[in-house]
A and B are shown apart, each in its own frame.
Chain A
């Protein structure tokens, strides 16, 4: 057989068979990785509804036999999950608001207003994409403790907003670039000033950016551990990651309520993801490609 021209000795059926085999292996591989990706979450959701007997032997990976919703109420009430949950929501909402206001305003000044040095200023803000959160831990901790602001919401809200800012400006720059400049001019001729244009023309047209920046910021602060762990020691102010950490220290032998707590911390993210997967993925891509 001539190996360089194998097509001749290759019947049509052989080729079909080969393509079929390659499609089969492709799908087998993709499905295998899909299972590996999703399995821990599946396992979490199922064992969050089981009792110890099932978790520890009778039924390790199957669906629960008796759906034990009481695990969730125990996590919520005795495990204080509802406090942590509420705290995380407060922190997330405040962080998103601050990030949105600051990055809308800054992007407006950086892209719509004409002034010397705006390119340099933009580059300066983009530095934030590469600065690790580690850089600020010691100085902020020292400052916060001097101001007696440790274990307050602001102790994490302000750093989270600051670290989401660069990404916020980056995303807003893309969206604001899509708004035609004619609108600014028309509004200017109608007698709007800089502030008028910003509030009446730009902000109403930036609603898609609100969603993208909001989701990105939400994911950052909902999951953040290092700063929250260091800056917050009071149970009443703990956010979910710190709270879940504390909770699993208390319930070492009772896995059901821990599973419920983990699921409670994860479900909001999953819900947002189900509805907005494309937008979330796009915001991650945007951040990486420019950064």
Chain B
């Protein structure tokens, strides 16, 4: 094909719909958020009051914004995610990767929660946690552990943990699926050779499979951490940051900054911080995995 002017124009025409969407909805807004974050901008006022990086200073120093505790909450979620959710997913993936009967059925059941709307799952867990009629307290009363019953989402000391459980529960299947795909990708000869050499199952897992699927483990860790930083839906449905801000995460803060306190500038600052943190953590985790090699 000749590379005429018409050819180049056609290329542009083919790319145009995607480019418009991509630049208009993803790239431009990031730049705009960056600009907004440098202004003290409230709803109804013009975008005039340039204050440089003061929003960022206020974000980390102000006691009334509570960004640091919110960030702490999401990092705590990231910790639980990496050290409880991922190992559980790995165990399931290793077991399912061994060509056992019923493998596909188990896989499909384990993955199902991922596909259900977080709003639906959140509403269900709201009912599970309901202090009077919720399954959890009903169960505790039925087995005689009356004194363990709580207002799970209404008490400051249990609310955060109660929010974490469904979040961790929902995405075990997602990480399991990724790891399972990795385990299936390990060459059969490698497994067989190790078995012939007298390795037990756990030795094969430890010395052959886990090192082999490290790239996937890296992806899982990155998703677990960035997903925790971005978490919003479940917390919004369960507590919306309450009681007394005990379950606030950066995203819920951002939304309340925008629509309750009408501070677009500060809301954008939180958005920019989230993006920066996500990229920074992704980079750090990649580096950590490289070091280990």
| Residues in A lying within 8 Å of B, measured CB to CB | 22, 26, 29-30, 33-34, 36-38, 40-41, 43-44, 47, 55-57, 60-61, 98, 101-103, 105-106, 108-110, 113-115, 121, 124-125, 127-128, 130-132, 134-142, 158-159, 161-163, 165-166, 169, 188, 194-195, 198, 219, 222-223, 225-226, 229-230, 240-241, 244-245, 248, 255, 258, 262, 265-266, 269-270, 273, 277, 280-281, 284-285, 288-289, 291
Cα A41 to Cα B127 with chains together (Å)? 13
Report the contact-size class of chain B (Cβ under 8 Å from the partner).
Answer: 35 or more
Q: Residue among B10, B15, B18, B114 with the most chain A CB within 10 A?
A: B18
Residues of A within 8 A of B110 (CB): 33-34, 37
Cα A194 to Cα B2 with chains together (Å)? 11
Residues of B within 8 A of A114 (CB): 1, 3
User: A55-B133, A225-B236, A245-B237 given as contacts; is B29 within 8 A of A135 (CB)?
Assistant: yes
Contact with A along B89-129 (1 / 0, CB 8 A): 00110011000101000111111111111111101111110
B279 at the interface (CB under 8 A from A): yes
Closest chain-A Cβ to B280's Cβ sits at a distance in Å of 12
Interface of B (DSSP majority class): helix
Q: List 29 A-B contacts (CB under 8 A).
A: A26-B95, A30-B95, A33-B88, A37-B173, A43-B124, A47-B127, A55-B133, A61-B135, A98-B21, A106-B15, A132-B230, A135-B26, A135-B33, A138-B32, A140-B29, A162-B24, A162-B25, A194-B10, A219-B115, A222-B117, A223-B115, A223-B118, A226-B251, A241-B117, A244-B120, A255-B127, A262-B123, A281-B111, A285-B178
Query: In this complex, what residue of A is CB-closest to B109?
Result: A34
Query: In this complex, what residue of A is CB-closest to B103?
Result: A30
Q: Residue among B22, B118, B264 with the most chain A CB within 10 A?
A: B22
Q: Residue among B106, B110, B116, B169 with the most chain A CB within 10 A?
A: B116
Closest chain-B Cβ to A89's Cβ sits at a distance in Å of 14
Residues of B within 8 A of A134 (CB): 230, 232, 251, 254, 271, 274-275
Q: Is the CB of B32 within 8 A of A139?
A: yes
B140 at the interface (CB under 8 A from A): no
Query: In this complex, what residue of B is CB-closest to A101?
Result: B17
Residues of A within 8 A of B19 (CB): 106
